[in-house]
Structure 1
């Protein structure tokens, strides 16, 4: 990681400031039932990092006191946190819109089968990773059997009303490129996904988000091992679109790690680039929105992944 950060810090990126804080993205921990090749978190079954109950309560206080409207839960697999049901119930009670970043397969794992109904009951919006609609490509990137389990989970969600016309239960899918390349046109790819999944599996969903692979953690290490890091960075820089700067997710949300420390985005979190005040990391327990508004966003070379081509954010393409 230090080698990756050193390389990224040598690449300049335009200075940007935060505009507002519309979303609080919370990383509940790095444990995951999968170990995907493109993972920028380096998540996996053996990771031990996990948010404590004390930090959870501090976050809930922050959400309530600052009238946060949307909370985006991520990981790892956020559903593997032992207090996940408590978390979504507490946020729902506060009237907060909840987004769950789901790898789909966790919903079919023994001991987690109840989660689909809980997500539906709390009207949690699901953003689910399905990096391709073809079985071979999904299993190559995420492991054997993942595609089959993902389809099983999608069918279960559809049965509960997720992704169905006239339903309030939102199901969005996420596409990641198979390697060191930019995503294709999001609108066209969404049509391809919808046609294939409907014809082959009778599966429906709302939107497709295309997200560029960011060269940090596992994906960054893979690029370095294949001597592909520099060519990938050159690709991202050559495809830079200034028009995408306005829509960057870091300008509208905060990222909170499992310990409660605050970052501009999930990628900065993985590179250990936190918000700092008087040489100390800012913590969710001791700040208000006013403390973090209008701050300069910490940038480095990895930011080109979000501005290349059609752009990339947690909500998909920017243009």
Structure 2
């Protein structure tokens, strides 16, 4: 079982506490910006409560072959948090009995979990309607042991959702590191080769766009058209849909905002762009997020801030869907990121 040293746990707790202090800090305490809970109230929304559970999102570990500037998971090669098979078996029990129709595997690079393929095989047999794996693409070209991932995904009907910061080399490599763009393009071509994203194919391939700086994403449909045109013309690549996701002010992106002196400006932009219509469709209302060690959260952003579900059921081994349906969703100022503009979720814009 993956465990962390006391020193590492203390460091993580200190970092989480620091981030929460920043999120609840002077901008909001002074009244310069309204707390998210007050904004909800002012726009006719009470406490956020869940709808029927549709998506079970499972983070199988923070280890990753990349270290991206905007990563809200703070993932990287040095992260040792890995979901064990024992915890995966607890997840499988829930997958077989829950009302959720979508399983969403994420990381880090989820493929780096040593039990990843076993888990995919077992979960696929459970008959989930939409089985998502969030791949960073470069993992497919990182090592020979991953070269057959496109075939493996296709065999089990996996819906592949992959991050691609931009359709140009310069902007992608600036955000993710030298060589990432070329490896990503090669991986997309390999996915196309086995049928992913191709016209008439049932194999779904979607891309994810995060802004590269302290600004909100543009129009999702317009960006999708641009990506499709450029990737098809330049590399012959096809894909199904593009999801735009707003960078939330947590983890590495919060560090970037502070270091670049953009934090106040960015938070103000999020608050000013608050869209009450987006509140009704934020992902925390139909999703449960499971951490690598089995704890339950309303979303993976709350997971990174250590904000467990507000319920007597807080671990996957104790999962009771009926009890979880009666909880109040835990919120903080980072929630402005999911309700700004067209809204944001792991499935893209929500309005």
Q: 1:102 corresponds to which residue? A: 135
Q: Say whether the 8 Å CA contact 1:4–1:221 is kept in structure 2.
A: no
Residue 109 of structure 1 and its aligned partner are, at CA, apart by 1.4
Q: Which runs of 5+ in 1 are unaligned?
A: none
Alignment of 1:221 onto 2:255: yes
Shift of residue 294, structure 1, vs aligned partner: 3.1
User: Matches of 1:238 and 1:66 in 2, distance apart?
Assistant: 38
- Which of 286, 295, 302 in structure 2 is aligned with 1:261? 295
Distance 1:247 1:43 in 2: 27
* Partner Cα separation in structure 2 for residue 40 and residue 307 of structure 1: 17
Structure 2 distance, partners of 1:222, 1:23, is 30
The aligned counterpart of 1:301 is 333
Deviation of the 1:212 alpha carbon? 0.4
Once residues 79 and 103 of structure 2 are traced to their aligned partners in structure 1, the CA distance between those partners, rounded to angstroms, is 23
Whether 1:188 and 2:209 are equivalent positions in the alignment is no
> Could you list the runs of 4 or more consecutive aligned residues of structure 1 that deviate by over 3 angstroms after TM superposition?
none
Distance in 1 (CA, whole Å) between partners of 2:319 and 2:207 is: 33
CA contact (8 A) 1:250 1:264 kept: yes
Q: How many residues align?
A: 317
Secondary structure of 2:146's partner? Answer: coil
1:222 Cα deviation from its structure 2 partner: 1.4
Gaps spanning 5+ residues in structure 2: where?
1-14, 29-34, 41-46
- 1:243 corresponds, among 255, 259, 277, to 277
1:110-129 pair list within 5 angstroms? 110=143, 111-129=145-163
- Structure possessing the higher relative contact order (Cα contacts under 8 Å, 6 or more residues apart): 1
SS in 1 for 2:341: coil
Equivalent residue number for residue 20 of structure 1: 52
* RMSD between superposed Cα atoms in Å: 1.1
Aligned to 2:238: 204
Q: TM-score, with normalisation over the residues of structure 1?
A: 0.97
Change (3 A) 1:277 1:188: closer
